[in-house]
Structure 1
Amino acid sequence: MLLYRRPRLSFFSFRPGQRLVVPIMCVSVTFIAIADGAITTVALPSIARQFHLTTAALDGVVVVYPVCLAMAIPASAWLVERCGAKRVLLTALVAFLGSSLLCGAAADLTQLVAFRAAQGLSAGVLFPASAALLFATFDSGEQVRISRYMIVPQQIAPAAAPILGGLLVDNLSWRWVFYVNLPVGLPAVLFGVLFLARHQGHRAGRFDLTGLLLSAAALGSLMFGICEGPNRGWSSAAVLTTLVLGAALLAAAVAFELRTTEPLLKLRLFADRLFRDTNLINLVGLVPILGAMYLGPLFLQQAQGRSALESGTSTFPEAFGVLLTVQVAGVLYTRVGPRIIVGCGLAGVSGVLLLFATCDQDTGLWTFRVYMFLLGIAMGGVFMPTTVASLATIARQDLAQASMLNTVVRQTGGALAPAVVTTALVLSTPAAAAATPPVAAYQHAYLVLAAIAAVTSAFAFTLRDAPARAAAGGGTKASNRTPARARSGKESVH
């Protein structure tokens, strides 16, 4: 007599393919890191009250994060090459979650600043490691398609974070803006441990300690000066000193890295015109885009006297516009190339910013929301095409380095945006009304951003994107890339 024995199914025997696992991990990491940066500012007034400080005294809580993030980025590519993407990504994620827990439990301002610094250091490794993993798993054509979905957390996180932060602070406490990272991050760690394939590092060159010290000090100094310039004044001794010191250290780092045989930063990648031009577009183009996102809530709350909730719900439509355009851009990318998409996108950003410049005290919320939606539609033509095109002609063994340099450029552009906006507001505000900029100051700031977007758009139309179109379409010009095809959980990606 034959007996049928039902096979035993185990959860741990389930092995999803890496082409599913990698995007899930990257989405989780991106959402956590971006949301944390956007949610913290909501809690500052509550933190100030508990520690009996003014909100201005908490400046270090905000500034230390981007400064330490910038300092950690240069080492990320070497770590990925040496230790493998999986190990670096999961270690950095655990460190980020641990420092989030410590931030929530901080007993005083000194502890909070120290733990925020640890958050920034771990985030500086998270972004390049996840990007290198993603771009090593998919080729250029697939990157266009996958970016249509990867853009979701990048847009939802900064739009939803202030609303979530307000709810947490009002109904629980400011500590929960840090604790909230754990319910999302811990499942991501477990998922990565179980299903992310082991990505072997290779024999990286010797560790370039001099390059790390020079580049980290340069980026940290410049980031501090850029972030503090609008608050302390560009002529203040601290700002001028850090900016001059940062520029000198950056020049020294560039000179040293170009001479050494095994540099920590492969700056020679910028000799590739497509890589260089797309990064230049990202650096300058992010200023009007992120500047508008920074300026909108200020205008609604300070110039129009709206509530934080009204402000959050009025800037949120931008995310829907981006998500809509990215789907269209993903279809058009291989047909028309990134040059036309990015150029038209930045031209659209400039046009919408001119509409914002017409807003005054009487502008209704729904008018503002329509403008934000239109801004999102224009922005959606910039993010994905520039990122994918920047790596189209980069050799596979240089993907980690290229992703790291992309991150440096984006973080710098992100820091410049509020600095440009705040400076424009200060210069347009009469001394007698310094505490509250008039409506005209906001209109002038929008005009400045519109001009920057217009100039960047003109440059984008000069982009030589034939290699990017060829890579996305599987052409022979992309033959220097050998993308990793992770067909099973046993495959390795450097």
Structure 2
Amino acid sequence: MVVPVVCVCVTFIAIADGAITTVALPSIARQFDLTTAALDGVVVVYPVCLAMAVPASAWLVERFGGKRVLLTALTGFLASSFACGAAADLGQLVAFRAVQGVSAGVLFPSSAALMFATFDTAEQVRLQRYLIIPQQIAPAAAPVAGGLLVDHLSWRWVFYVNLPVGLPAVLFGALFLAGHRGARPGRFDLPGLLLSAAALGGLMYGVCEGPNRGWTDPAVTVALALGAVLLAAAVAVELRTSAPLLKLRLFTDRLFRDTNLLNLIGLIPIMGALYLGPLFLQQAQGRSALESGTSTFPEAFGVLLTVQVVGVLYARVGPRLIVGCSLVAVSAVLLLFATCDADTGLWTFRACMFLYGIAIGGFFLPTTVASLATLPRADVAQASTLNTVVRQTGGALAPAAVTTVLVLGTPATAAAHPPVTAYQHAYLALAAIAALTAVFAFTLPDRAARAAARGSTTHRSAPEPARPAESRPRSAHRGGTRHPEAHDSGPGA
């Protein structure tokens, strides 16, 4: 169980860091005598650099091995976290946040590749029932923990807090994680890296800054237009390259393609509602940050409850019905949220959040496991990289879509915060997207995914590669599993 332990720590740290930093922005602004708006770079540079680093992760895993890449990226993430906490000015903080983003861009796909190359589909379903716990607790608990650290210690501890979790994970992984010398993935695709990194960085910047600056702002429009052109060029180059950095031909596999489309569009209403809830409570109802945090937290409990049921039903029912019904439930609960107004009580909102958690709990596990069910083990690292790109894009589109609807629903003569009706319209828009995505989910081809979950391996489109001797665990107590592979990886949620 060494691989799950290390991947859980990596996932928890990376997700919590993204959720906890925004809490410290007002305190950072006071420290450096700046406005909170001036700290925009601290927030935006992280997802931009993360997106730019992701394309290289698969090649690094294939060349140097999952253990080496994962532990190196985690060490870089922890070192840059410490540097962020010790930053003397805004320039240093932004620079070290960029290093954090680059490290996270390698962490996510490499940990995902390690997980999926180590365990077969049936084992993945069982493990996801437990791995989902830190994935849900981290974003729910991070704002509350961040507020306590900022109030009682300093904003610097928002970054230092990564070290007590991360350092033991590095030591544990170095001692017990089985590794190998890597393979020969072919010549490094430098044109593919430059084009894809620039494209993803530009698109991520435009999506993140569009709601704040306005979609017609020159910097936003140029970033989006340039990103789109570079993305088209990257696709053309990668499809013609014999050993591409991004193996886009994997999208010819229908199950892989459809699950990624579900993640790209489905994460907009799912993550959008999680982003919208605290805004509604604090701005529309005037609640405190603590009241907001304790009111959105019930969502995590709903997810954990549903995932346990999904883990049992997955092999029998298949991802198609589970994901489709999940999205229908998401749409229904979002319609409930749309009825909330300034007088809605906290316990009513908490009940809706719990129901929302139950609804979205059927989305993450099936799409994660099914995305790799029909691919050869040799393509795990590449597929995990593409999964990360898609999930990061969907996650970035969510707040952009919500903020855009709120801005459109706010009269020019209104106060700083949108009216209650704007939040209601945002919930309705998210409900409509979830309903349309549910229709697509019911067309998902899942026979091979169900067969894989039942332990059948006949669905594999290519034989598994021979394992180098170094990839085999030296002994059972050193964390070996039944299926160690040459490619290592972790959960892409």
**Under a length normalisation based on structure 2, what TM-score does the superposition of the two structures give?**
0.95
The alignment status of 1:467 with 2:448, answered yes or no, reads: yes
Give the equivalent residue in structure 2 for 1:327: 308
Relative distance call for 1:434 and 1:211 in structure 2 (3 A) is farther
* Alpha-carbon distance in 2 for matches of 1:199, 1:278: 30
* Alpha-carbon distance in 1 for matches of 2:266, 2:293: 24
The alignment status of 1:493 with 2:486, answered yes or no, reads: yes
Once the two structures are TM-superposed, the CA of residue 492 in structure 1 deviates from its matched residue by 5.3
* Alpha-carbon distance in 1 for matches of 2:65, 2:282: 46
* Alpha-carbon distance in 2 for matches of 1:79, 1:73: 10
Q: Which amino acid aligns with 2:486?
A: V
* Alpha-carbon distance in 1 for matches of 2:380, 2:463: 10
Question: 1:103-142 maps to which residues of 2 (within 5 A)?
Answer: 103-142=84-123
Moved more, 470-479 or 241-250: 470-479
Give 1:60's match in structure 2, choosing from 2, 21, 41: 41
The alignment status of 1:287 with 2:268, answered yes or no, reads: yes
Once the two structures are TM-superposed, the CA of residue 201 in structure 1 deviates from its matched residue by 1.1
- CA deviations on 1:324-353 (whole Å, 9 max, x unpaired) are 000000000000100000000011110000
* Alpha-carbon distance in 1 for matches of 2:449, 2:62: 25
- CA deviations on 1:378-422 (whole Å, 9 max, x unpaired) are 100000100100000110110000001000000000100000000
Q: Which amino acid aligns with 1:225?
A: G
The alignment status of 1:247 with 2:240, answered yes or no, reads: no
Give the equivalent residue in structure 2 for 1:401: 382
The alignment status of 1:164 with 2:145, answered yes or no, reads: yes
Once the two structures are TM-superposed, the CA of residue 29 in structure 1 deviates from its matched residue by 0.2
- CA deviations on 1:109-157 (whole Å, 9 max, x unpaired) are 1110000000000000000000000000100111111100110111000
Relative distance call for 1:55 and 1:481 in structure 2 (3 A) is farther
Once the two structures are TM-superposed, the CA of residue 200 in structure 1 deviates from its matched residue by 3.2
Q: Which amino acid aligns with 2:390?
A: V
**Would you say the 8 A contact 1:133–1:493 is kept in 2?**
no
Question: 1:72-83 maps to which residues of 2 (within 5 A)?
Answer: 72-83=53-64
The alignment status of 1:310 with 2:297, answered yes or no, reads: no
Pair member with larger Rg: 1
Relative distance call for 1:476 and 1:124 in structure 2 (3 A) is closer
Relative distance call for 1:56 and 1:334 in structure 2 (3 A) is same
**Would you say the 8 A contact 1:85–1:200 is kept in 2?**
no
* Alpha-carbon distance in 1 for matches of 2:166, 2:486: 23
**Would you say the 8 A contact 1:224–1:242 is kept in 2?**
yes
Gaps of 5+ in 1: 1-19
Q: Which amino acid aligns with 1:164?
A: A
Counterpart of 2:39 in 1: which secondary structure? helix
Give 2:126's match in structure 1, choosing from 138, 145, 160: 145
Give the equivalent residue in structure 1 for 2:31: 50
Give 2:428's match in structure 1, choosing from 439, 447, 452: 447
Once the two structures are TM-superposed, the CA of residue 477 in structure 1 deviates from its matched residue by 3.3
Gaps of 5+ in 2: 488-493
The alignment status of 1:351 with 2:329, answered yes or no, reads: no
* Alpha-carbon distance in 1 for matches of 2:341, 2:18: 29
**Would you say the 8 A contact 1:357–1:446 is kept in 2?**
yes
Counterpart of 1:173 in 2: which secondary structure? coil
Counterpart of 2:185 in 1: which secondary structure? coil
Q: Which amino acid aligns with 2:224?
A: L
* Alpha-carbon distance in 2 for matches of 1:343, 1:492: 33
C-alpha RMSD of the superposition: 1.2
Relative distance call for 1:404 and 1:341 in structure 2 (3 A) is same
**Would you say the 8 A contact 1:277–1:463 is kept in 2?**
yes
**Would you say the 8 A contact 2:11–2:135 is kept in 1?**
yes
Relative distance call for 1:481 and 1:440 in structure 2 (3 A) is farther
* Alpha-carbon distance in 1 for matches of 2:301, 2:277: 16
Give the equivalent residue in structure 1 for 2:182: 201
**Under a length normalisation based on structure 1, what TM-score does the superposition of the two structures give?**
0.95
Q: Which amino acid aligns with 1:73?
A: V
Q: Which amino acid aligns with 1:85?
A: G
**Would you say the 8 A contact 2:118–2:485 is kept in 1?**
no
**Would you say the 8 A contact 1:220–1:246 is kept in 2?**
yes
Once the two structures are TM-superposed, the CA of residue 474 in structure 1 deviates from its matched residue by 1.8
**Would you say the 8 A contact 2:302–2:357 is kept in 1?**
yes
The alignment status of 1:429 with 2:410, answered yes or no, reads: yes
Question: 1:372-411 maps to which residues of 2 (within 5 A)?
Answer: 372-411=353-392
Once the two structures are TM-superposed, the CA of residue 204 in structure 1 deviates from its matched residue by 1.1
Once the two structures are TM-superposed, the CA of residue 481 in structure 1 deviates from its matched residue by 6.1
Give the equivalent residue in structure 1 for 2:491: none
Give the equivalent residue in structure 1 for 2:349: 368
* Alpha-carbon distance in 2 for matches of 1:149, 1:304: 35
Once the two structures are TM-superposed, the CA of residue 482 in structure 1 deviates from its matched residue by 3.9
* Alpha-carbon distance in 2 for matches of 1:26, 1:200: 20
Give the equivalent residue in structure 2 for 1:261: 242
Percent identity over paired residues:
79
Q: Which amino acid aligns with 1:275?
A: F
* Alpha-carbon distance in 2 for matches of 1:493, 1:171: 46
Q: Between Structure 1 and Structure 2, how many residues are aligned?
A: 475
* Alpha-carbon distance in 1 for matches of 2:298, 2:309: 18
**Would you say the 8 A contact 1:73–1:128 is kept in 2?**
yes
Give the equivalent residue in structure 2 for 1:342: 323
**Would you say the 8 A contact 1:291–1:417 is kept in 2?**
yes
Q: Which amino acid aligns with 1:120?
A: G
Give 2:437's match in structure 1, choosing from 456, 476, 481: 456
Counterpart of 2:73 in 1: which secondary structure? helix
* Alpha-carbon distance in 1 for matches of 2:165, 2:125: 26
Once the two structures are TM-superposed, the CA of residue 434 in structure 1 deviates from its matched residue by 5.3
